[in-house]
Amino acid sequence: MPKSFLPDAGLVFDMLLKRDKFVPHPGGLSSLFFAFADLVIHSCFNTRPTDYTINDSSSYLDLSPLYGSSQKQVDSIRVKDGFGKIYNDTFADARLLMMPPSVCSLLIIFGRNHNYVAQKIYEINENGTYRDPKTQSDAEKAAQDEEIFQRSRLVNSGYFMKVILGDYVGAILGLVRDGSAWRLDPLATMRELDHEFAPQGEGNVCSVEFNLMYRWHASTSQPDEHWTQAAFKRIFGDKGGAGLWAEARARGGGGRGKRDRDLRTSEESALRVKGTVPGAGSTA
């Protein structure tokens, strides 16, 4: 279909998507639910900008926004001092810096949980094999750090999965509101309509419609709305969307500029962490 036949994008938004007023969720659902949903979808999908057919993440719920989807990303957040910890209040996926602060704050909680688990694993020292890194050779310290890190990562990812199945999916299905104890079991054997076993471990794909819906624009809370408007005004001034788009096209870009990959020193990351976290109110 020729582009000239398509309706104006601004008109479509105003007629179909723009809300007239804020309506609290009838079940009292907090917008932190949607912040957590951002972590879920960013764990499953990381579309490569240069090739939309490639997903750079594992497509599984493995906390890749925290740990990364490549060895280089994983190494960027690890302290590697023999205790298996990651740098305080950092995460590997820079895409989350484009999300509301509540999303980054939730991810930081999981990062702190990793370090808590790593500390407990080292202190319990179940098999008596862990020693003070100061008394170890470089090779011994690296091996101990790797073991504690991977065990902590596994525990943390399992905790992430339990939150998803117990609280997140439970909220979607109304189980939390209704007080139902039933929960989805992803390890259960399922059958297709033809009674054949449903395949497992084949990755995830999503439709364009799901992609648009899962952005949760319609469920933006009032605190997030005000924060986003203030952030845009601080960064872009009084320029409208059309002016910003024209500037981006003039620079020959689609808005994907270079970023500081070291989130320990990124000024933008620091502002995210130190800012007030919106999103505690109910959302539509």
Question: Distance (Å, rounded) from C-alpha 159 to C-alpha 197?
Answer: 28
- What pLDDT, on the 0 to 100 scale, is given for residue 261? 52
Spatial neighbors of 58 by CB under 8 A, at least 6 apart, are 64, 69
Q: How much is the average pLDDT of 151-179? A: 90
Residue ranges with strand state E in 195-237: none
Decide if pLDDT at 254 tops 60.
no
Q: How much is the average pLDDT of 84-99? A: 94
- What pLDDT, on the 0 to 100 scale, is given for residue 174? 83
| Confidence category of residue 204, pLDDT binned at 50, 70, 90 | low
- What pLDDT, on the 0 to 100 scale, is given for residue 237? 84
Question: Distance (Å, rounded) from C-alpha 34 to C-alpha 40?
Answer: 10
Question: Distance (Å, rounded) from C-alpha 269 to C-alpha 238?
Answer: 24
Q: Measure the CA angle with vertex 250, ends 246 and 251; round to 5°.
A: 120
The better pLDDT of the pair 169, 203 is held by: 169
* Percentage of the chain exceeding pLDDT 90: 38
Decide if pLDDT at 66 tops 90.
yes
| Residue entry with tokens 């104890």 | 181
| Confidence category of residue 231, pLDDT binned at 50, 70, 90 | confident
The better pLDDT of the pair 254, 147 is held by: 147
- How many angstroms separate the Cα of 146 from the Cα of each of 110, 122, 131, 150, 220? 19, 12, 14, 6, 40
- What pLDDT, on the 0 to 100 scale, is given for residue 271? 42
Residue-level length of the chain: 284
Q: How much is the average pLDDT of 217-221? A: 80
Q: Any idea which residues carry the catalytic annotation?
A: 42
Least confident of 25-29, 78-82, 87-91, 138-142: 25-29
Least confident of 39-43, 87-91, 246-250: 246-250
Q: How much is the average pLDDT of 124-152? A: 96
Rounded to 10°, the helix 101-124/32-44 angle is: 70
Residue ranges with strand state E in the chain: 47-48, 51-55
